[in-house]
A and B are shown apart, each in its own frame.
Chain A
Amino acid sequence: MADATDNVAKDSSGPRKDTDSPRPLAKAAPNPAMLFFQGLASLRLTVVLLFLGSLLVFFGTLAQVDQGIWQIMSKYFRSFIVLIPLDIFTVFSSRHGIDEPIAGLFPFPGGWTIGFLLLANLLAAHALRFRLRVGILTLHAGLVILLLSEFITGVFAIEMRMDITEGSSSNYAYDIREAELIVVDTSGEEEDRVVAIPQSKLIEGQVIQHEALPFDIEVLSFFENSKLEKITPPKQSEATFGTGLFYEAVDQPVAAGTGTDQQVDSPAAYFTLRQKGTDSTIGTCMTSCAFNVPFRDDWETIPQRQIVDGKPYEVHLRYRRYYKPYSLYLQDFSFDKYPGTETARNFSSMVHLTDPARGVDREVLIWMNHPLRYQGETFFQSSFKPDETGTVLQVVRNPGWLMPYISCTMISLGLIIHFTQTLSKFLRRELAK
């Protein structure tokens, strides 16, 4: 009896006829791009990434014993790769009487790598597997927005503080997580000219040169956190001018996330000023963010000043400032307590918002859970000056602030739609039986 092989032999010797059985198809070579795409869309990858994410949260939690929350956020969750020190596991070994530090570290995918891969996994799965159903589409779109919102917050969001004393105004907020070195030309009558150098450029041993600077600046040392100690003879100061003549900066560990006192890091640094393009020294100074904290201005009377080419220049390290085109004037700060107690009931700030460019001139009351939203920034009532004559506002700029709300709404809606569709299909099937 003729079989397929006979047909194949006949096919090779002459033209095919319509009455012949169909030719078996040759197996297609796998497309590498498609294989990659299928791997990216796989459910196994989703499970692995979620597991890695859980581990990252666990490692980040352990690391907060010795490091501040913002350092952990930056190193572990807003990075692509993190080098995790084995030392974070000493919290377990110390319970068994082993107090020695554990040397070594291991690489691990950072939060952005895991998040980006989860996002790619979800998009690829949708492109490849999922049918266009409103419920699933809405739900997954909400997830995409949630993942994107974290990227946008991590990249663009800035959290700042604004301190205002009653009867005065402020047109800037500052970020306590980052410092900047400023060189100020104070020769003007009405204005100061400021050159601001970000903390990322203050690297020990580096010489900072820029056309806007009146001198070169050599970074002798930079401490992420420090305390100031009075210099007592016979000890001599490393500085040749300014407050460093009387105080030295001593390196301190950065504030830990588990610390009960919740201290803010106080960066300090030693700089040598040199004539531009030469080794000729103008002077050496020590400057600390502690000199420029609002509500504490008693350091200013020891000027960090040098005269260069007939102009006075001041050198300061301070928390990074963000100047606004508008100002807030604090008319009154109010701290209400429950009658007969010292327990805080409410505190509020009556401010006057002035924005000449936009013609805004109005009073605003900022109080707990009732922030001021203006020009893409939100001003929350955060704290107050110890003697209750000043307010501390938390100022947040986050272009993605609305995204988590939209995301949660879409996820909820998607779930409701999907489950309703599934339920109605099930009920129709049951009724049809």
Chain B
Amino acid sequence: MSNHRRFLLLATCIVGTLLSGCAKEEITEYTVDKPKPPYRLLAAMVPQLEKTWFIRMQGPRTDIEQNKAAFDTFVASLQFDANADNPIQWKLPDGWVESDKKTVGGFRRYATLKVGPEAESTEVVVTSLEGAGGSILPNVNRYRRQLGRPPLKQHQLPYAVKKQMLGDIEITRVDIKGKRPAAPSALPSHGGGPMSQ
């Protein structure tokens, strides 16, 4: 092969390499799996009897998905009576049992319910806070922190919660997805203090 042809062959390979990488960028289309964070928290905040009642269920995402319908039914069954021995009453879904656990990590609970008979079943926790301790934003941010999510600002809150009617009462529903929860965080500091029955 002559010197000229040898040179031209090499030069062509190099130019070809250059040009092959200079393709115009185009619009592309593809599918991606929806993100599946491992943990999920459902909560309902009910302002009644001069307190805010918190009904919360959290656990592995798949467990929560299986029990979400039962949780919604449970929340819809809540009734309040200031004069009764138990100011808040409910109808337990099939398979749920009430535990005798009233204090966890120094925090008192009104009730602890289990969605199955085993000790490691997912729990539904009922608590209450008085006064400003029951405000929506600080409590939503407390839940978000537990699942490793950053806190919200006030103007973001309407997009993070849903309003729902429970009879005549407007309640707030929360649905948060995140990672394995950290240790329970302190309750909001605005008045209230530790919950009371």
CB distance from A73 to the nearest CB of B (A): 15
**Complex contacts, A156 vs chain B, CB 8 Å:** 21
How far is B11's CA from A246's CA once the two chains are assembled, in angstroms? Answer: 56
CB distance from B34 to the nearest CB of A (A): 6
- B166 interface hit (Cβ, 8 Å): no
- B148 interface hit (Cβ, 8 Å): yes
**CB nearest to B5 among chain A residues:** A127
- Which of B4, B14, B26, B27 contacts A151 (CB under 8 A)? B14
CB distance from B110 to the nearest CB of A (A): 29
Encode B7-30 as 1/0 by CB contact (under 8 A) with A.
Answer: 100110010011011100111111
- B3 interface hit (Cβ, 8 Å): yes
Encode A210-245 as 1/0 by CB contact (under 8 A) with B.
Answer: 101100000000000000000000000000000000
- A369 interface hit (Cβ, 8 Å): no
CB distance from B66 to the nearest CB of A (A): 16
**CB nearest to A127 among chain B residues:** B3
Of B49-57, B84-92, B119-127, B150-158, the one contacting chain A is B150-158
Interface residue tally of chain A, by bracket? 35 or more
Tell me what chain B mostly uses at the interface: helix, strand, loop, or mixed: mixed
**Complex contacts, B7 vs chain A, CB 8 Å:** 37, 123-124, 127
Q: Please tell me if the beta carbons of B31 and A192 are within 8 angstroms of each other in the complex.
A: yes
How far is B19's CA from A152's CA once the two chains are assembled, in angstroms? Answer: 11
How far is B25's CA from A33's CA once the two chains are assembled, in angstroms? Answer: 37
**Complex contacts, A119 vs chain B, CB 8 Å:** 14
Q: Please tell me if the beta carbons of A201 and B27 are within 8 angstroms of each other in the complex.
A: yes
- A362 interface hit (Cβ, 8 Å): no
How far is B148's CA from A302's CA once the two chains are assembled, in angstroms? Answer: 19
Q: Please tell me if the beta carbons of A193 and B31 are within 8 angstroms of each other in the complex.
A: yes
CB distance from B71 to the nearest CB of A (A): 20
Given contacts A151-B14, A156-B21, contact A190 B27 (CB under 8 A): no
- A165 interface hit (Cβ, 8 Å): yes
Q: Please tell me if the beta carbons of A201 and B179 are within 8 angstroms of each other in the complex.
A: no
Q: Please tell me if the beta carbons of A389 and B27 are within 8 angstroms of each other in the complex.
A: no
**CB nearest to B22 among chain A residues:** A155
Of A43-51, A293-301, A341-349, A421-429, the one contacting chain B is A293-301
Encode A163-180 as 1/0 by CB contact (under 8 A) with B.
Answer: 001111000000000000
How far is B156's CA from A212's CA once the two chains are assembled, in angstroms? Answer: 31
- A128 interface hit (Cβ, 8 Å): yes
**Complex contacts, B150 vs chain A, CB 8 Å:** 296-298
Q: Please tell me if the beta carbons of A210 and B27 are within 8 angstroms of each other in the complex.
A: yes
- B94 interface hit (Cβ, 8 Å): no
**Complex contacts, B27 vs chain A, CB 8 Å:** 195-198, 201, 208, 210, 212-213
**CB nearest to A155 among chain B residues:** B21
CB distance from B116 to the nearest CB of A (A): 24
CB distance from A298 to the nearest CB of B (A): 4
Interface residue tally of chain B, by bracket? 35 or more
Q: Please tell me if the beta carbons of A302 and B159 are within 8 angstroms of each other in the complex.
A: yes
Q: Please tell me if the beta carbons of A195 and B149 are within 8 angstroms of each other in the complex.
A: no
**CB nearest to B182 among chain A residues:** A389
How far is B160's CA from A389's CA once the two chains are assembled, in angstroms? Answer: 24
Q: Please tell me if the beta carbons of A194 and B30 are within 8 angstroms of each other in the complex.
A: yes
- A107 interface hit (Cβ, 8 Å): no
- B37 interface hit (Cβ, 8 Å): yes
Q: Please tell me if the beta carbons of B28 and A301 are within 8 angstroms of each other in the complex.
A: no
How far is B155's CA from A246's CA once the two chains are assembled, in angstroms? Answer: 8
Encode A312-347 as 1/0 by CB contact (under 8 A) with B.
Answer: 000000000001000000000000000000000000
Q: Please tell me if the beta carbons of B38 and A168 are within 8 angstroms of each other in the complex.
A: yes
**CB-CB contacts below 8 Å: A279-300 with B:** 296-298
Highest count of chain B CB atoms <10 Å: which of A210, A246, A298: A298
Given contacts A33-B4, A148-B14, A155-B21, contact A301 B32 (CB under 8 A): no
**Complex contacts, A212 vs chain B, CB 8 Å:** 27, 29
Q: Please tell me if the beta carbons of A194 and B152 are within 8 angstroms of each other in the complex.
A: no
Encode A337-368 as 1/0 by CB contact (under 8 A) with B.
Answer: 00000000000000000000000000000000
CB distance from A273 to the nearest CB of B (A): 16
**CB nearest to A247 among chain B residues:** B155
Given contacts A127-B4, A200-B25, contact A323 B179 (CB under 8 A): no
- A188 interface hit (Cβ, 8 Å): yes
A120-B11, A189-B34, A301-B156 given; 6 more Cβ-contact pairs under 8 Å? A123-B11, A151-B18, A168-B37, A188-B31, A212-B27, A298-B153
List residues of chain A with CB under 8 Å of any chain B CB. 33, 37, 112, 116, 119-120, 123-124, 127-128, 148, 151-152, 155-156, 165-168, 188-198, 200-201, 208, 210, 212-213, 246, 296-298, 301-303, 323, 389
List 9 interface pairs A-B (beta carbons < 8 Å), by A numbering: A120-B11, A124-B7, A155-B22, A168-B37, A168-B179, A193-B31, A194-B32, A201-B27, A298-B152
